[in-house]
Amino acid sequence: MPINLSHPILPPVFRGIVSVNSLGLPRFFATIWSDALNSWEPSTRRRHLAALDRFYRAAEEQNGVDCLDRLIAAVDCDALEDCLVGFLAQLRNEAAIKGTDNTPTWNTAVEFIKEMLQQALKGAGTRTNEIAAKTLRLDTYYGQLVPNQPPPPPPIRALPPLVIEDLYEIFRPDSPRNPFKTETLRWRNLLVFMLLLRLGLRRGESALLYPSSFKEDFDPVAGKTVHWLDVEEVDDPDPRYEQPGLKTETSRRLLPLQEEIVGLARFYIRNYRGRVNHPHLLISQKGLPLSLRSLSEIFEVATKALSDEAKQSLKKQGLRGVSCHDLRHTSAVVRMRRYQDTGNDLDKAQEKLRTFFGWSKKSEMPRLYAKAYFETALAEVWDEKFDTFVDALRRVNPDRPQ
């Protein structure tokens, strides 16, 4: 099973997610695949190793012994194919009973075996043709199989205008409807809300931010100071059990910032973040980096504070509540419309969206947003409520002492 090695005494090169067997020993070829042949971000690494763990256990159940590494080392192509066939049957049975989508797990298993055979080709000698033929069969035949019918793409969950309007009221620090108990929590949670809604950050990306992630420089061409956010992952020890990480390499990016967002971040840092022993921006009441679970709980609390009308609007949209990722969806839908409104054709708008939200060049997500139903009222609420917030923020003394 995958375990997280994160003890402070370990050198950084030894930290991370590894796959181990029932005795706690690292699985040899799973480690080779994840460490030497790929350079995934922690969340992607965990997902692939969790899928591989299921494959290893299925091969063990099928053969009565934990044998997958031995079969790979021996390049026993027929036995490896049998393991894949048995695993596919298991996944299909599970999909039929539970209705789960096991396609990503199956794809990981096939890709793993295919890459192991490709490595074996380098020293195959007289078996070169045999192994090459088996690799081609894996790619052309097993790569086309699926354990269950893929579900239709999920709907884009842009929040309704009424909900956005309600959330602005709920997160306003001086609002009587604000459900958070202390002034510190109210300002911190307002910053979280703005980062996720206005910038479309993923939950894990916001958890990785440092105060130093906010950058600025003077632009001689524009004749003014420009601000941006550096979305990056720093190789420092992290005390959180569920460690945040960037989803993909393309998640590393620089996002232009409005001065009002910069002002809000500075105000929180100067007055409410406090002197803590951790470098992260968002801090819990105990002075520790805010956990991923706590970030989700902020919006669970906010959902309960919504008006009945807003809750009904959510229900009509097929949503049970407001999540961190719903704000990212909303941000992307609005930004997609903005790109098109400013004269960008569809392809250019999609390319801009990929860059801003950290999607790869092959990602189909921008195409889904391009097709998403868009309400003009959403943009109006988006701007009107933000402008109201900005006016209130400007009235706050940014130099208030701690």
Fold type of domain 161-394: hpI Integrase; Chain A (1.10.443)
Residue for token pair 């009222």: 377
Q: Which residue has the tokens 């350079």?
A: 39
- Domain borders along the chain are 2-144, 161-394
For residue 161, the one-letter residue type is P
Q: How far apart are CA 387 and CA 110, in angstroms?
A: 51
Buried b (16+ CB within 10 A) or exposed e, 95-134: beeeeebbbebbbbbbbbbbbbbebbeeeeeeeeeebeeb
Pairwise CA distance, residues 128 & 136, whole Å:
12
pTM above 0.85, yes or no: no
pLDDT tens string 140-193:
888 777 787 666 656 667 888 889 999 999 999 999 999 999 999 999 999 999
Quick check: 159 and 322 in contact, CB under 8 A? yes
Longest dimension (CA), the chain: 78
Question: Do 351 and 335 contact (CB within 8 A), yes or no?
Answer: no
Gap between the Cα atoms of 394 and 64, Å rounded: 69
**What amino acid is encoded at 353 in this protein?**
L
Give, for 369, the enclosing helix (H) or strand (E): helix 365-371
Residue listed under structure tokens 């097929």 = 318
Task: List, for residues 67-106, the tens digit of each pLDDT value.
Answer: 999 999 999 999 999 999 999 999 999 888 888 888 899 9
Paired tokens of 298: 């902020």
Neighbours of 305 (CB within 10 A): 17
Q: For strand 214-219 and strand 16-19, is the pairing parallel, antiparallel, or unpaired?
A: unpaired
Strands across the sheet with 214-219, in order? 214-219, 224-231, 253-256
- Tens place of pLDDT for every residue, the chain, 402 residues? 677 776 667 666 666 778 888 888 889 999 889 888 887 777 788 899 999 999 999 999 999 889 999 999 999 999 999 999 999 999 999 888 888 888 899 999 999 999 999 988 888 788 888 888 888 888 888 877 778 766 665 666 788 888 999 999 999 999 999 999 999 999 999 999 999 999 999 999 999 999 999 999 988 888 888 999 999 988 777 888 888 888 888 899 999 998 889 999 999 999 999 888 889 999 999 999 999 999 999 999 999 999 999 999 998 888 889 999 999 988 888 888 888 778 888 888 888 888 999 888 878 787 776 666 455 566 667 676 777 666 655 554 444 433
Kindly report each contact of residues 316-321 with a partner whose C-beta sits within 8 Å and lies 24 or more positions away, as own/partner.
316/160, 317/157, 317/159, 317/160, 318/155, 318/157, 319/157, 319/159
Nearest to 394 by CA among 272, 261, 276: 261
